[in-house]
Structure 1
Amino acid sequence: MLMNAYLTFNGNCEEAFRHYAEVLNGKLPALMRFSDAPGCEDMPAELKNHIIHVRLEVDGHVLMGSDASPQCGTYEGMKGCSITLNVDTKAEARRIFEALGKGGKVTMPLEKTFWAALFGTFEDRFGVAWMINCEKDA
């Protein structure tokens, strides 16, 4: 069994996932629009270019997402969940924290904790909460 996180956006899913792929050196093998899906023919034209499914692959791990569809009701943002990245070096922790956090809001600065050489949290500019954890002191 595999367990993957799935993120829902309010029209900026493609921008977010392209950014994540660039920062995390990942690949986007699947990026499908509502216009590509059966049953979406009557969707408003301005929503047809939104993402119905995207898959990001990074080092054998998967993060998926989409834009909210009108059938889902009013988009209320992301709540109660964080994506955690465990990295091997402090340099990588700093790089990712800076790149993904740019334009967002730091909720805990990247610093030494009792369990990690560096740990920090932030909400990125797309509203996704992240935790960066580096347990090694390298």
Structure 2
Amino acid sequence: MTTPYVQPYLFFGGRCEEALEFYRTTLGAQVDMLMRHKESPESPPPGMLAPGFENKIMHASFHIGATTLMASDGCGEDSHFDGFSLSLTVPTEAEADRTFAALAEGGQVRMPLTKTFWSSRFGMLTDRFGISWMITVQE
């Protein structure tokens, strides 16, 4: 590696498998790698892993389009996704409408899709896992 890069790493507090399936069906996400805590070549330090988390996801790598994201259930702590949004750019208004509606199901719309000075469609929502999204049409 010669150039640093940033990748989002999302901790779902026990709901990672559910989140990966949700993003697969709504966004076409593809899981590239998945390892459960019980599959780790090293045991976690005593007391680090919450009881019942052995089957939970220790690490996953997945991609949506050309973007790679990483995810985990963590070790048992709650997840809090404050202070950032994932920005998803799509090629058409129809795709923005479909994607926005799918991600908003079970979540909360913060700004409905609307025309803005920079895009024919832009909207913001928080999905059912607490991830904040900004959806925009590429102009």
The two structures share one fold, judged by TM-score above 0.5 = yes
In the alignment, which residue of structure 1 is the partner of 2:39?
A: 36
1:80-137 Cα shifts (integer Å, max 9, x gaps): 011110111000001110111101000000111111110000000111111101133x
Compared with structure 1, are the counterparts of its residues 76 and 18 closer, same or farther at alpha carbon in structure 2 (3 Å cutoff)?
closer
In the alignment, which residue of structure 2 is the partner of 1:2?
A: 5
In the alignment, which residue of structure 2 is the partner of 1:54?
A: 60
3-state SS of 2:52 partner: helix
Gaps of 5+ in 2: none
Gaps of 5+ in 1: none
Compared with structure 1, are the counterparts of its residues 10 and 36 closer, same or farther at alpha carbon in structure 2 (3 Å cutoff)?
same
User: What is the TM-score of this pair, normalised by structure 2?
Assistant: 0.87
What is the distance in 2 between the residues matched to 1:76 and 1:64? 14
Contact 1:105 1:122 in 2 (8 A): yes
In the alignment, which residue of structure 2 is the partner of 1:25?
A: 28
CA-CA distance at 1:24 after TM superposition: 1.5
Compared with structure 1, are the counterparts of its residues 76 and 16 closer, same or farther at alpha carbon in structure 2 (3 Å cutoff)?
closer
Query: Structure 1 residues 8-17 or 59-68, which shifts more?
Result: 59-68
What is the distance in 1 between the residues matched to 2:44 and 2:123? 40
Match for residue 119 of structure 1 among 98, 118, 122: 122
Q: Could you say what the CA RMSD is over the residues aligned between the two structures, in angstroms?
A: 1.7
Contact 1:21 1:56 in 2 (8 A): no
CA-CA distance at 1:44 after TM superposition: 4.8
CA-CA distance at 1:68 after TM superposition: 2.1
Contact 1:119 1:131 in 2 (8 A): yes
What is the distance in 2 between the residues matched to 1:125 and 1:39? 31
3-state SS of 1:77 partner: coil
In the alignment, which residue of structure 2 is the partner of 1:129?
A: 132
Question: How many aligned positions are there?
Answer: 133
1:54-95 Cα shifts (integer Å, max 9, x gaps): 11112221111111215xxx4351110111101110000011
Contact 1:56 1:62 in 2 (8 A): yes
User: What is the TM-score of this pair, normalised by structure 1?
Assistant: 0.87
3-state SS of 1:47 partner: coil
Contact 2:50 2:75 in 1 (8 A): no
Match for residue 78 of structure 1 among 71, 77, 81: 81
